[in-house]
Amino acid sequence: MWRRLRRLWRAFFPARANPDDAWALGELRLEEAHLYKAMDSRDREHAVWVARRLLERYPEAPGFVVRAALLHDCGKALRPYRPLERILTGLLRLDVPIEPLQKGLIGAWQIRQHHPEYGAARILDPQVAQIVREHHRPRSLWASRLCEVDEEF
Ligand SMILES: [Fe+2]
Ligand SMILES: [Fe+2]
């Protein structure tokens, strides 16, 4: 709960986000780096937190799982980070089609609902893509572990 409130508060202060990009980029493959870099600093900070927590809890996590943790929300980068939109789409559920992705407010709900698929579609490694695709609806062991850690932040 406190972590969630903290994340909410920090959503309004992008300058305070301090993601460890050097560590993240050292873990990612070259062709994955642009997906990570395209994310807002607040989403990158979240990604690094999640990946590190996952490693703390499951030190045996294979490299592809750590990469999936770092990229799990990369589908959100298709839209600028707007804190109020993030809050609104979190509070109010709407069922929206996956395509075409719209620029208007509907697009905010599309990102909320379909970012796992948008992200997965951009990832080359099928193992990483699968975990990213499942991160809110896990069907495999590592996706459920990622989901568990993700929900703490
Ligand atoms: Fe997500
Ligand atoms: Fe997340």
Residues with CB under 5 A from ligand 2 (ion): 73, 150
Residue 153 Cα to ligand 2 midpoint, Å, equals: 7
Cα 26–29–30 angle (5° rounding)? 95
Residue 67 Cα to ligand 2 midpoint, Å, equals: 13
Structure tokens at 8: 């909410």
Q: What is the pLDDT of residue 5?
A: 83
**For residue range 105-145, what is the model confidence (pLDDT) as tens digits?**
999 999 999 999 999 999 999 999 999 999 999 999 999 99
**For residue range 26-73, what is the model confidence (pLDDT) as tens digits?**
999 999 999 999 999 999 999 999 999 999 999 999 999 999 999 999
Q: What is the pLDDT of residue 9?
A: 87
Q: What are the angstrom distances between the C-alpha of 56 and each of 43, 97, 126, 131?
A: 20, 37, 24, 19
Q: Can you give the pTM of this predicted structure?
A: 0.96
pLDDT bucket at 3, cuts 50 / 70 / 90 = confident
> What does the DSSP assignment read for 99-127?
SSPPSSHHHHHHHHHHHHHHHHTT-SSHH
The whole-angstrom separation of Cα 129 and Cα 81 is 22
Q: What is the pLDDT of residue 107?
A: 98
Residue 100 Cα to ligand 2 midpoint, Å, equals: 23
Name the burial class of residue 101, with classes exposed (0-12), middle (13-18) and buried (19+) by CB atoms within 10 angstroms of its CB: middle
Q: Using N-to-C axis directions, what is the helix angle for 41-57 and 141-150, rounded to 10°?
A: 120
Single-letter code of the amino acid located at 57: R
Residue 25 Cα to ligand 2 midpoint, Å, equals: 18
First to last CA, the chain: 9
